[in-house]
Structure 1
Amino acid sequence: MNKTVSINLGGFFFHIDEDAYQKLNRYFDAIRRSLSPDGKDEIMSDIENRIAELLSEKLKNDKQVVGNKEVDEIMAVMGQPEDYRIDEETTEQKSAYTASDFTYTKTKKFYRDSEKGMLGGVCAGLSHYFRIDPLWIRIIFIISLFVSFGTSLFIYILLWILIPKAITTTEKLEMTGEPINISNIEKKVKEEIDMITGKLQNVDYDKLGANAKSVGNGIGSVFSALFKGIAKAIGAIIAVISAVCLGGVIVMFISLLFSSSLNNTFWHKWINGFNYTETPMWVLGLAAFFALAIPLFMLFLLGLKILVDNLKPIGTITKVTLLFLWIISVAAVAYFGMSQAAEVNAEGKTVVKKQLSEISAAASDTLQIKFRYNNYYAKSFYEDTDFRFTQDSLGNDIIYSNKITFYVMKTDEASPYVQIEKIASGRSSSEARKRAEKIKYNFEFQGNTLILDNYLITDLNNKFRNQKVEVYLYLPEGMIFKCDESVKQYDDTDNSFFDLWWDSGEHFYQMEKAKVKCLDCPPDEYNSDGEIPEVPEMPEIPELPEDVHINAGGNGKIHISDENVNVHVSVDSISVRSKKRN
């Protein structure tokens, strides 16, 4: 039975076998004796931290005890002190201790190198990771600023925030991909000591003594530096966002400039359909570009000025020119917007009235109403759209729309009639009326059936001016009519007067004095007082004979049968059929 010892190594607690503890203790003593006095404590601290990290990686849980095997593997990674000789100029590895069942693998991690970095150390860290001179990384980054319209700057800031800085000796060795052993740790610590010593030797102590007299001013400098850092962060955000937006505006303007004259682009029809003033698109695009790009460019310069203290400002002539261009562009955009709004300021309509003289309230035939669709533009009544730009069967550019509304009205005349109102917008009522006349909408009356189109079309040259068609069906009192299922897709009659919402195209209606009445609709779910009527008590169901079979099928149907009778019960009907003939 072996004794165990609890030790604190590099801030970690370990349970270690007594024999392994003695071996590890002798190992530390040997390392300490092999080190020179300069920086011995710092080197030993880094070595202990590294050994603690390796032990933590090898132990599966906190209760596992460190044995001789783990210590041997650690010594294989770190090496023996007598195997290394380090002087000021060269470091030569003479031999290496290896365990028979352990192999060390070099690892490399991505850290920011703040010592060799110019800003945040991101480029220097990338140069270590990919073994490239940091100068090339910085050149690539500067070029990408222009190619990606500032996106690479956002990526740099993101890496600056997310990638940790190499602080400890272990992290610095991992950053360069060097083995983390006694030799490299000692070498790295001595390099840092030499660097610090060199800086101390170059210190101007007279100047330092003079600065020490102004401690109070130093506190103010700290707060000034803090606010300056916050300002630079805000400047970076302004510069990045404005650069990205400016790049997007430039790309959109170039795309519009080269494709505005092409008739096969997807937005050409939209531009023609809404450009009421007939202004060339390149003129509109140029005005919108300067109205947006100039403020974004000035914001970008503002962000750079916050980031860079000695940024050279743009000249007065340039500022005045940009301001002049921006004012003209904003005025042009405003004028275009007001002209566009004026083109849909008024509404006009044309009215077509047709008597349905073949049908009267006293006639025995029922008036049938239905809508039809054109299978060239749609495949069902449910393909509803306010408008779309398309072509007809002859290849002409047209505007297609399903903005058709249907109303049932009452008339005092003896015979029913239908009134078609075509409506459009324009600069004036007379101009809007002329545009409404160009709407193509058809309907017909065959026998006792009124057939209405569910769409309208007009030429693309008429522009989209809120074209729509309203159909009014005037019926005298006592008139009986029936609506096809398609009618409820376009019916907009006041529901208190005529409601088709739950109609499946099977019910008959009659025009009464105050409203339309359904002649064969089921009773309302609620009575006239708005209360739910009492449900009558269900009669007791007698026990069925053994030879009776009940099958429940889909669509709400039940089949009951015995040797004499078939009974079919559905939601809508009940049928009884005898199996035996008399």
Structure 2
Amino acid sequence: MKKVININFQGRVIPIEESAYDMLKQYVESLRKFFANEEGRDEIINDIEGRIAELFGDSLKKGATCITDDTVNEIINSMGRPEDFEGEESNVHSQLGGEEKEKEYKFNAAGAAETSARGRLYRDDNEKILGGVCGGLANYLRIDPTIVRLVFALITFMGGSGILLYILLWIILPSRPLEGISSTKRLYRNPDERVIAGVASGIASYFDIAVWVPRLIFAFPLVLGIITSIFRGAFWMDVDPFPGIIFGSFGGTLFVVYAVLWAVIPEAKSASEKLEMRGEKVDLNTIKNTIQEDLEGFKSRAEKWGGEFKDKAQQFGQEVGQTVGQKGQQFGAETGSALKRGGRRLGGIIAILFKAFFLFIAGILAFALLVTLLAFMVAGVGVFPLKNFFLEGFSQNFLAWATLLLFLGVPVVAFITWLIRRIMGVKSGNRYLGFTFAGLWFIGLVCGGILTYSIVRNFDATAREKHEYSIVQPSTGKLIVKVPDSKVKVYGRWFKMDGIVSMNDDSLFLNNVRLRIVKSPDSSYHIYSHKFSSGRDEGAAVKNIHEISYNINQSDSTVWLDRGFALKKGTKFRNQGVQLTIQVPVGKRILIDRTVSRRLNWFHVGNGYDWEWDEEWNSNNEDWNSNVEYIMTPGGLERIKTKEDIEEEKRRKAESESDDNNDAVEQYKKSKEELQKEYERKQREAEELKKELDKPVDTTRYRYKKQTVMNEKQVQPAVAEEQKANVLPIEASRLLMMQMVY
């Protein structure tokens, strides 16, 4: 009979025999002595203990009640003893060399795994999450269980049949604990060669392929989708960068697959997990080599980061060292030994957190900048046909192309180049490439600024030209205003803004027309227009006005207004517009058709005040309705009341009177309630006074007083006393009278 104790070993509660615990303790102490002079000895011992704890956990999962001496001996033999590696190291270096010995071991282990019998298919109780189906299939196929689980997950996401297949295998296959395959590789995310999450580098390590292959498989469809979206948006004005690029077509499928792999595949954190990822034997020597390689890599990265701050740190140290040097040395001598190991780990943690935070912020800014540049580039390409109507001369066209290609295109090309280099794992040997991209982008920025200034100068001057249209006075005394469909048909549109402007490669149609209605100075209707345009100078603005072709037509009492006007190819857009004014004489009528509000840009009804194109209006802009007759009065337009308007007015008046009556009734009820309350209060006061008067009189207070003669000063106090004595009867009488009134 042996004593069993519970120990906390690497965060696991392990039941172990006391003798086995002594063996484990001696083994760990021998490891500490063996690695005493090795760099990173604490990390090596910690990873070896973590591996032993994993093996203890596997043994307990298989049904063992506790860890016995045999279990500890088996694990020690598999991990190796320090004295074995001392002799093996000299033997290996003298005969085959360390690398050949390791390759021989890999070959022999792989061969043994391939030639061993597969046996019957079971569900694995040791590697189960739900029912052990994936673990059993992985044991039978000699692959990592994570691969089988991913296959089932993908089948489930694609068609939903993965769940049914899993349930069927769960029912059919028997269950038993299965022995793990020591030579089987495990699929992990590789943290040492990761760009995003280490999924691609982990897959490359598992299948022994170059890391750029899976990265290219995942990234190429996404990059191709971005490029095709840019060209599609440029030529078809159909830009949907998110979520179409990410979740659309084959690239979206790979994006989802990468996200699933990121969530399912664990990261290789410890040295033993990294050895399993590469398919190497997990023993003392390999764990030591792996940790030392990680330390060397971290040291090189730390030296690289530290080199950037070396000069400033030295300068700062020289300035401060003179004042605090002695105290700092004394404090460092006292606390250096205690904080050395903790400071090393804390420094590593701080460096990792700082780098992660910096990369996160930089990634967000880079992505936002890229999306912005792509949006501007797509917009620039999309509206590029407008250049024939905005730009003039070779210089402006050249500057526009330079701005598009250099200012917007160079950052996109630079980002794609950087992304491809990261995917391929290629480091740029040419340090001038970044300066070249920056220089080209700056040239594009300068070209954009010059182009903007040149275009703005084309709108410096503004000119107007008035034209009066000759119309026949309507015999009925009523003018009807309508706007027909545009006579200009624009086919094969490149650009459209909801009726304001539409264009193709040879014409530009503008709906820059405003209409206002004012009082006529005489007894006739008048229609005149103000055509206006901008230009580099007044002469150019007048020339642009002459290119505007706007007409009106009359049919009896109906006037038809053009919806807009077209600019032919060669005519530049300089904010051309037309302002129409219809003058209505006093006493005459006008009817505004519904098409006016639907097809004209602005409509204004005036009451006699002047109104200009670029001014805002408040008091001189009145409410109006389409298909309703208005009559011009000395005070402005007024709506002619129809039968329906009269009935509506009567209905509103009746509702108003009803509301007034209801208010009067409510006021009467309120006054009655207040009078009733006042009456009740006065009645209570009268009753109290009556009770006071009904009290018996005390006759003993009356005494004979001798009448004396009083002077004027003595008479006044006596009169006052008499008045006070009469107050009570008078007040009582007044209250009684009020009670009688109520």
Query: TM-score normalised by the shorter chain: which range applies?
Result: 0.5 to 0.7
**In terms of mean alpha carbon deviation, does 103-112 or 117-126 score higher?**
117-126
Deviations 1:401-433 (CA, angstroms, capped at 9, x unpaired): 222211101121221110122222211233212
- Distance in 1, matches of 2:490 and 2:291, equals 85
1:463 has 2:572 as partner: yes
- Distance in 2, matches of 1:201 and 1:147, equals 38
- Distance in 2, matches of 1:415 and 1:448, equals 13
Partner of 2:486: 374
Q: Of residues 534, 540, 564 in structure 2, which corresponds to 1:431?
A: 540
- Any residues of structure 2 matched to 1:140-539 within 5 Å, and which? 141=215, 164-167=266-269, 191-196=282-287, 225=348, 228-229=351-352, 232-233=355-356, 234=358, 238=362, 267-279=383-395, 281-287=397-403, 289-291=405-407, 314=431, 329-359=444-474, 364-374=476-486, 377=489, 384-390=498-504, 397-489=506-598, 490=600, 491-494=603-606, 499=622, 501=624, 503-505=625-627, 507-521=628-642, 522=645, 533-535=656-658
- Distance in 2, matches of 1:330 and 1:252, equals 13
Which structure shows the bigger proportion of residues in strand conformation? 1
Question: Using a 3 Å threshold, how does the CA distance of structure 1 residues 143 and 471 change in structure 2: closer, same or farther?
Answer: same
Secondary structure of the equivalent of 2:604?
Answer: coil
- Distance in 2, matches of 1:36 and 1:451, equals 104
Q: How many aligned residue pairs are there?
A: 444
Contact 1:284–1:333 under 8 Å retained in 2? yes
Letter in structure 1 aligned against 2:572: K
- Distance in 2, matches of 1:41 and 1:325, equals 56
Q: Of residues 32, 39, 49 in structure 1, which corresponds to 2:57?
A: 49
Partner of 1:3: none
Question: Using a 3 Å threshold, how does the CA distance of structure 1 residues 488 and 378 change in structure 2: closer, same or farther?
Answer: farther
Contact 1:419–1:472 under 8 Å retained in 2? yes
Q: Of residues 146, 151, 168 in structure 2, which corresponds to 1:108?
A: 146
When normalised by structure 2's length, the TM-score is 0.45
Contact 1:526–1:533 under 8 Å retained in 2? no
Contact 1:50–1:170 under 8 Å retained in 2? no
Question: Using a 3 Å threshold, how does the CA distance of structure 1 residues 128 and 213 change in structure 2: closer, same or farther?
Answer: same
Question: Using a 3 Å threshold, how does the CA distance of structure 1 residues 314 and 296 change in structure 2: closer, same or farther?
Answer: farther
- Distance in 2, matches of 1:390 and 1:116, equals 52
| Structure with greater Cα Rg | 2
- Distance in 2, matches of 1:302 and 1:266, equals 26
Contact 1:497–1:514 under 8 Å retained in 2? no
Letter in structure 1 aligned against 2:530: E
Letter in structure 2 aligned against 1:166: A
Secondary structure of the equivalent of 2:573?
Answer: coil
Q: CA deviation at 1:345?
A: 2.1
- Pairwise CA RMSD: 6.3
Fraction of identical pairs, as percent:
17
Q: CA deviation at 1:474?
A: 0.7
- Distance in 1, matches of 2:193 and 2:640, equals 91
- Distance in 2, matches of 1:326 and 1:50, equals 59
Secondary structure of the equivalent of 2:591?
Answer: strand
Unaligned runs of 5+ in 1: 1-6, 15-24, 55-70, 73-78, 179-186, 204-209, 392-396, 539-582
Letter in structure 1 aligned against 2:208: I
Which structure shows the bigger proportion of residues in helix conformation? 2
1:132 has 2:132 as partner: no
- Distance in 2, matches of 1:49 and 1:535, equals 89
- Distance in 1, matches of 2:192 and 2:516, equals 80
Contact 1:348–1:424 under 8 Å retained in 2? yes
Secondary structure of the equivalent of 1:466?
Answer: coil
Deviations 1:538-577 (CA, angstroms, capped at 9, x unpaired): 9xxxxxxxxxxxxxxxxxxxxxxxxxxxxxxxxxxxxxxx
Secondary structure of the equivalent of 1:534?
Answer: helix
Partner of 1:571: none
Question: Using a 3 Å threshold, how does the CA distance of structure 1 residues 217 and 100 change in structure 2: closer, same or farther?
Answer: closer
- Any residues of structure 2 matched to 1:88-107 within 5 Å, and which? 104-106=136-138, 107=145
Secondary structure of the equivalent of 2:570?
Answer: helix
Question: Using a 3 Å threshold, how does the CA distance of structure 1 residues 218 and 294 change in structure 2: closer, same or farther?
Answer: farther
Q: CA deviation at 1:95?
A: 8.4
Q: CA deviation at 1:271?
A: 1.8
- Distance in 1, matches of 2:198 and 2:336, equals 34
Question: Using a 3 Å threshold, how does the CA distance of structure 1 residues 301 and 401 change in structure 2: closer, same or farther?
Answer: closer
